Structure 1
Amino acid sequence: MHLSAPSSPDPSLGLLPDALQRRPKLFLALLCLLLWLPGFFTLPATDRDEARFAQASRQMVESGDHVRIRFGEEERNKKPAGIHWLQSASVHVVEATRLGTRDMIWPYRLPSLAGALLAVLATFHWGRAMVGRRAALLGAAMLASCLVLVAETHIAKTDAALLATIAGAMGLFGQAYLRPTAFSARQAAGFWLLLGLGILLKGPIGPMVPLLAGITLAVSDREASWLRALRPGWGVPLMLAAAAPWFIAIGIATEGRFFQQAVGGDMLSKIGSGEEKHWGPPGYYLLTFGIAAFPGAWIVLAALPNAWHDRLNPPTRFLLAWVVPSWLVFEAVQTKLPHYTLPLYPALMLLGAAWAINPMRSPPGRWWRWIGIAGLVGVAAGLAGLALGAPWYLERRLLPAGLLAIPAAGVLVFLLLRAARLRAWGRAGLLGALLAVPLYAAVLEGVAPHLTPLWIAPRLAAAVEARAPGLPAGHFGITGHSEPSVLFAIGQDVRLLRTGTDAAEFLAGGPGRVVAVGDRAEADFRRRATGLALMPEEIASVTGFNYSRGRWVTLLLYRLAS
């Protein structure tokens, strides 16, 4: 299998109007917006990572301190400040244009959406030189519709923005590998600056992917003519210069605590153990790929055996070097989450798309094909079942959008399998990206924002405002539900209390205070309140499902009886 697409028109992509085929970047941008905007504005802040990142960025906006990262009263020395700068900038722009405020979650999601869009466009732009124009268009569309990327665009954290830097850097690396004599100094500077930005977003992950790819290519090719084209002599200092000022500043500001906690606490704990119960066995990412890369995963899986047989072809070789060594590293690390392998998805989608539109492709093996089809059907059915079943489980009701998700999933599966039977794999790939739009919209816009029990923090904030309006800063405490979304919904001065005993003592600490007590801590709270001769008055209650812990919780709001 050769990755270059044929020069004649490919009927498998004839689904697009001629106007959009002539403007592929416009088509990709429109597709991304259709896929990603449902739920973008309406989903409340989610626990735990999104609320932590957004709250830290809001405190950066309010304090004007763009060096130190704080969450509530604590230093957050885990990740560099790059994403917080981007989120702070987006909040300033949104407030300057009066489109929203810093108390809304969607302004903090804008860097994720922009990063994902840039990654999709970079996949098409640089992919053309590797797999041809039509395959690059298909691969970028498949990337845009990946379930994991759709999820990341709705979460205000680093991974979608990081994907943009890696997709751009690896695209430039591919140019240096395939045509080293034509690679300019400006392109080399872009490569190293993108890696520097990646370091500011998520530390060593950005440089790791091209480093491992470069080592793999040098060993397999037994030469590295591309290295001179990348100009590392001044490129590496340029990369370090882009990131070093903040690292020096944060080292001084925290007296070295940032490096101790970020490297010794966060990074090494993820490598050596399953941090926050996010453990997975070897093979975890392969087993979950069908879910994370839905609806294009089955095409990628069908293409991989052919890609391996074609590994002597330079574009295929480069794309495999992009994927394989970093994939093995992620599999070896103890802490595992589906989005960790996202930086490898542009290469995987390009490999899948190149195979799909190649008329000389070899068909996938029978068992390999059935595994891919089972994954496609299973994930589509799972999304439809989730849209239908979640409202029933949480509230004993059905939502109209949940009912619509069933035919949306059914049509997607039927048309994709029909295209596969006709061996129109390119058409199947593009149909998957297009037909994912109504399915995702049903789940993310029609169902998820309306699952009231899931969104405890906004309802708690509304109850506090209704029953204790104008509560002074520092006068609200909570125990039994100390999730980051509470700080984002109510404010950084919320006192996060460990036990019911602490809650009673907080309530006794001054007049006008309000405390929220989880049902599991209520007995300790009342026992200590009796010991302190307090007469707490219950003013409201909020019941919901804490999805971070997988259990129901009831929060009782108390203040001292007047």
Structure 2
Amino acid sequence: MTSATASDAFAAAAQRRPRLMLVVLCLALFLPGFFSLPAGDRDESRFAQATRQMLDSGDPVRLRVGEEERNKKPVGIHWAQAATVHLVEAAGLGSRRDIWAYRIPSLLGAITAVLLTFTLGRRLVGPRPALLAAAMLAGTMVLMVEAHIAKTDAALLAAVTAAMGLMGAAYLQPSGFTARQAALFWIALGIGVLLKGPIAPMVALLAGITLAVVDRGRAPWLRALHPLWGVPLMLLIVLPWMAAIGIATEGRFFAEAVGDDMLGKVGSGDEKHWGPPGFYLLTFPIAAFPAGILALLAARGVWAERALPRTRFLLAWIVPSWLVFEAVATKLPHYTLPTYPAVMLLAAAWAMDPLRLAPPRWLAILARVLVAGVALGLSAVALLVPWLATAHEPVGAFLSVPFAILLAVLTWRAMAAARWARAAVLGVLAAIPLYASVMEFTLPRVEPIWIAPRLQAALERVAPGLPAARFGITSHAEPSTLFRIGAETRFLRRGEDAARFLAEAPGRAVAVGNRALDDFRREAATLGIAPRERDAVHGFNYTRGRALTLHIFTLD
């Protein structure tokens, strides 16, 4: 089957059963690695561990990770994760020890965002461009990654897509917009607040202000949204939890979530994730790989049509929020994800328009180079990471090479012929085996970067059934350790602390990092104890970018 036949066959099947085909496409893109990737550091393990401790404690309000309060993010994703874990356990499919059970809300959020891009996007750009846009969104690397991570952003994308899709319907046809649709808009915003605070309302508010300015104060769509009862409806969803968490933490949640977390990210590069303005534009070809590159090609044509209501609305969805994300000091690739449905809808509408304004020749060539470069670069990373960590590559790393070449060749040929929509479809379809080779057959097999599972296995060999409260660790205070071994695990700051912990009571074990080993042995001699090294775990802490050896000691 030729590439043209393959893309045509997919398009024909998708038009007959569009939602079914989009779900199948999402599962093909998102499931590889979903079950096999261990819990990642740091965000995923923090979210999952907070949910696990919520389940264990039965407290649905206060969040903790180990001994510390987790006063950074709202509770919505934790409720969703707790619900899916309960369902998994009730069905006998797994337990709260399985990280994939906590990833289900992210998977469902990503699929829902794709389906909503199609369903609500049809009113904005038409059925066929909306279908292409949904497929393009599904294939983006940033959404594929977020669907694998047990945190907020894929679910937030679903909430934002629902709210903005409904807002777009109100903008284009305010007279036909119903009270039920308005209620759904405010409910989506309320859910968005429970997931990630002000992001969802911010996107809608900035879009509304932009439209009001561009339309010179005319805003019949605002009356159609019924804000007089809509805002209270949104607050009704949010305020009960806000009151409960304020009382439970005596106000600490708001001081830390707003003062430390949110304002810290605005004013400075939080957690070493600083980036200059323009970061998201420069990294867009990677984050939106493979088909999102059409957005850059479409930019001139989109701007030429900015007077069209649909284009004006989608630009209002994208531009002000994107500028805010560029201005914020902390930069992470997924921060601009709430704008991606609008980006893909504009790009798809341009790609399927026979009267589209062609991009400059240099830009078309650059787009081909970027898609091919990212594909080959992803394969190179799949080869390089295992080699640096283990001095050999798993089979999946080698498989990524022909898949990357296939994607590069197929998209290059289609784009060279100015078959932009076909290039997008082929790119997304070819991304399926490429992503699978990396996410399923490469990364889970790079054992040195997955320290916590091997540490747990070593502890089982050394001290079977050891309670987490009797285990201490230095030099690796990562939340994945808590998730694998237990919330009562003691994080010890120095080697001396590890020796004292071991000496305080019988039946204990410690894992001492190589950098703290000399201090541990010196303090043990001072205390008159003779720790016995029982095992060692060698690995690479990718959050700190350095090799690590954990030496496991007991006193017996």
User: Which TM-score bucket, shorter chain as reference?
Assistant: over 0.9
Counterpart contact for 2:137–2:344, Cα < 8 Å: yes
Higher deviation after alignment, 179-188 or 391-400: 391-400
Counting matched residue pairs gives 552
* Equivalent position of 2:144 in the other structure: 150
For 1:269 and 1:258, how far apart are their aligned partners in 2? 15
* Equivalent position of 2:251 in the other structure: 256
Q: Map residues 96-111 of structure 1 onto 2, 5 A cutoff.
A: 96-111=90-105
For 2:81 and 2:20, how far apart are their aligned partners in 1? 25
* Equivalent position of 1:280 in the other structure: 275
Alignment partner of 1:61 out of 55, 68, 73:
55
For 1:50 and 1:160, how far apart are their aligned partners in 2? 13
Q: Provide, for residues 59-89 of structure 1, a one-character-per-residue CA deviation record: whole Å limited to 9, x for no partner.
A: 1111110010111111100001000000000
Structural RMSD (CA): 1.2
* Equivalent position of 1:70 in the other structure: 64
Counterpart contact for 2:302–2:346, Cα < 8 Å: yes
Alignment partner of 1:471 out of 460, 466, 474:
466
Counterpart contact for 2:539–2:547, Cα < 8 Å: yes
Alignment partner of 2:22 out of 6, 12, 28:
28
Q: Could you state the TM-score of these two structures normalised by the residue count of structure 1?
A: 0.97
Q: Give the Å deviation of 1:528.
A: 1.1
* Equivalent position of 2:509 in the other structure: 514
For 2:486 and 2:545, how far apart are their aligned partners in 1? 25
* Equivalent position of 2:181 in the other structure: 187
Alignment partner of 1:199 out of 193, 213, 227:
193
Q: Provide, for residues 446-475 of structure 1, a one-character-per-residue CA deviation record: whole Å limited to 9, x for no partner.
A: 101000111100000010011101113410
Counterpart of 1:469 in structure 2: which amino acid? P
For 2:151 and 2:273, how far apart are their aligned partners in 1? 17
* Equivalent position of 1:323 in the other structure: 318
Q: Map residues 203-214 of structure 1 onto 2, 5 A cutoff.
A: 203-214=197-208
Structure 2 unaligned regions, length at least 5: none
Alignment partner of 1:554 out of 543, 549, 552:
549
Q: Map residues 86-165 of structure 1 onto 2, 5 A cutoff.
A: 86-165=80-159
Q: Provide, for residues 185-222 of structure 1, a one-character-per-residue CA deviation record: whole Å limited to 9, x for no partner.
A: 00000000010000000000110001000000000011
Counterpart contact for 1:113–1:154, Cα < 8 Å: yes
For 2:355 and 2:232, how far apart are their aligned partners in 1? 45
Q: Map residues 138-537 of structure 1 onto 2, 5 A cutoff.
A: 138-222=132-216, 223-537=218-532
Q: Give the Å deviation of 1:531.
A: 1.1
Q: 1:11 to 1:184 in 2, by over 3 A?
A: farther
Q: Give the Å deviation of 1:369.
A: 2.1
Q: Provide, for residues 122-167 of structure 1, a one-character-per-residue CA deviation record: whole Å limited to 9, x for no partner.
A: 0000111111111101100000000000000110000000000000
Q: 1:133 to 1:17 in 2, by over 3 A?
A: closer
Counterpart contact for 1:297–1:376, Cα < 8 Å: no
Counterpart of 1:420 in structure 2: which amino acid? M
Counterpart of 1:118 in structure 2: which amino acid? T
Counterpart contact for 2:190–2:237, Cα < 8 Å: yes
Q: Give the Å deviation of 1:15.
A: 3.4
Secondary structure at the residue paired with 2:440? helix
* Equivalent position of 1:6 in the other structure: none
Counterpart contact for 2:368–2:411, Cα < 8 Å: no
Q: Give the Å deviation of 1:391.
A: 1.9
Alignment partner of 1:83 out of 73, 77, 80:
77
Secondary structure at the residue paired with 1:100? coil
Secondary structure at the residue paired with 2:96? coil
Higher deviation after alignment, 398-407 or 207-216: 398-407
For 1:500 and 1:375, how far apart are their aligned partners in 2? 48
Counterpart contact for 2:468–2:485, Cα < 8 Å: no
For 1:48 and 1:12, how far apart are their aligned partners in 2? 40
Q: Give the Å deviation of 1:326.
A: 0.2
Secondary structure at the residue paired with 1:169? helix
Counterpart contact for 1:192–1:236, Cα < 8 Å: yes
Q: Provide, for residues 381-404 of structure 1, a one-character-per-residue CA deviation record: whole Å limited to 9, x for no partner.
A: 111111222222211113222111
Counterpart of 2:69 in structure 1: which amino acid? E
Counterpart contact for 2:410–2:423, Cα < 8 Å: yes
* Equivalent position of 2:8 in the other structure: 14
Counterpart contact for 2:187–2:234, Cα < 8 Å: yes
For 1:400 and 1:477, how far apart are their aligned partners in 2? 36
For 2:172 and 2:402, how far apart are their aligned partners in 1? 45
Counterpart of 2:133 in structure 1: which amino acid? G
For 1:487 and 1:18, how far apart are their aligned partners in 2? 49
Counterpart contact for 2:472–2:509, Cα < 8 Å: yes
For 2:364 and 2:315, how far apart are their aligned partners in 1? 21
Higher deviation after alignment, 499-508 or 12-21: 12-21
Q: Provide, for residues 359-394 of structure 1, a one-character-per-residue CA deviation record: whole Å limited to 9, x for no partner.
A: 111111123223322321221011111122222221
Counterpart contact for 2:300–2:357, Cα < 8 Å: no
Secondary structure at the residue paired with 1:66? coil
Q: Provide, for residues 78-130 of structure 1, a one-character-per-residue CA deviation record: whole Å limited to 9, x for no partner.
A: 00100000000000000000011100100000000000000000000011111
Secondary structure at the residue paired with 1:47? coil
Q: Could you state the TM-score of these two structures normalised by the residue count of structure 2?
A: 0.98
Counterpart contact for 1:297–1:372, Cα < 8 Å: no
Counterpart contact for 1:197–1:242, Cα < 8 Å: yes
For 2:486 and 2:294, how far apart are their aligned partners in 1? 46
Secondary structure at the residue paired with 1:553? strand
Counterpart contact for 1:15–1:427, Cα < 8 Å: no
Secondary structure at the residue paired with 1:474? helix
Q: Provide, for residues 259-287 of structure 1, a one-character-per-residue CA deviation record: whole Å limited to 9, x for no partner.
A: 01101110110000000100000100001
Counterpart contact for 1:200–1:243, Cα < 8 Å: yes
Counterpart contact for 2:471–2:508, Cα < 8 Å: yes
Counterpart of 2:322 in structure 1: which amino acid? W
Structure 1 unaligned regions, length at least 5: 1-9
For 1:73 and 1:298, how far apart are their aligned partners in 2? 45
Secondary structure at the residue paired with 1:544? strand
For 1:194 and 1:160, how far apart are their aligned partners in 2? 14
Counterpart contact for 1:12–1:426, Cα < 8 Å: no
Counterpart of 1:261 in structure 2: which amino acid? E
Higher deviation after alignment, 417-426 or 456-465: 417-426
For 2:202 and 2:28, how far apart are their aligned partners in 1? 32
Q: 1:20 to 1:328 in 2, by over 3 A?
A: closer
Higher deviation after alignment, 295-304 or 182-191: 295-304
Counterpart contact for 2:454–2:537, Cα < 8 Å: yes
Counterpart of 1:113 in structure 2: which amino acid? L
Counterpart contact for 1:12–1:425, Cα < 8 Å: no
Counterpart of 2:386 in structure 1: which amino acid? P
